[in-house]
Amino acid sequence: MDRESLRRFATPGVLFSALGIGGALIVAGALWLFWFAPQGALSEAPESALTIIPGPSSTTLPPTATLIPTSTVTPTFAPLAPGEFGLGSYVQITGTQGDGLNIRTQPGLSTGVNFLGYDAEVFEVRDGPMEADGFTWWYLVTPVDEARNGWAASAYLSVVANP
C-alpha cells in the first residue's frame, strides 16, 4: 500500500473511531473480569496443587516399653448412714439464722476467711474431717465454682441429696 492510499484512510474520524472501539473493548474486558469472575478469585492466593509427602527413612526407632497390667487395690468405703456425710457427699449450710457461715482457709476459728456462705447454699465435701477449736471441720467446694472453697464447721452443715 502506498503512502497516498494510507492518508486517504487515516482521517481523524477513522483514527478517533479506532481509539473509541479500542477503549470500549478495554472497558468491556475490565467489567467482564470484575463482574463475571468468581468471588475472591482476584484477591485470594491460589491453593497449593502439590503436596509433598516424605518417603520412609531408614532410621530405626528404639523399641518402646510394653506396660504390663498389674492389679491395684481400690479402696472401698462403707456407705454413709442417713444424716451422716463424708467425702463426695453434698451438704448445705443451716442454722446461722441468716448471719451466714465463714468458709475459712484452714480448719480453726483463728484462720483467715475465704468468703461467707449463706443458709441453704450447697457444697460438695472434698476433704476432712479435721478437729480444731472444738469443731469438726470439712473442706467444701461449690459445685458450680471451684474457686469458692474452704473449711467449714460441721455444726452448721446438713446432708442433702446430690443436686
Ramachandran region, residue 41 (left: φ > 0; alpha: ψ -120 to 50; beta: rest): alpha
Query: Please, what is the average pLDDT of the chain?
Result: 82
pLDDT digits (tens, 9 = 90+) for 146-162: 899 999 999 999 998 77
pLDDT at 108: 94
pLDDT at 47: 67
Q: Does residue 117 register a pLDDT over 60?
A: yes
Measured at the CA of 46, the angle between CA 45 and CA 49, to 5 degrees, comes to 150
pLDDT at 80: 60
Higher-confidence residue of 145 and 66: namely 145
Largest CA distance in the chain: 126
pLDDT at 101: 94
**pLDDT, average across residues 103-122:** 94
Higher-confidence residue of 150 and 66: namely 150
- Check: pTM over 0.75? Answer yes or no: no
pLDDT at 130: 92
pLDDT digits (tens, 9 = 90+) for 32-65: 877 776 655 555 666 666 777 777 767 676 777 7
Give every CB contact of residue 155 below 8 A, 6+ residues apart in sequence: 95, 135, 136
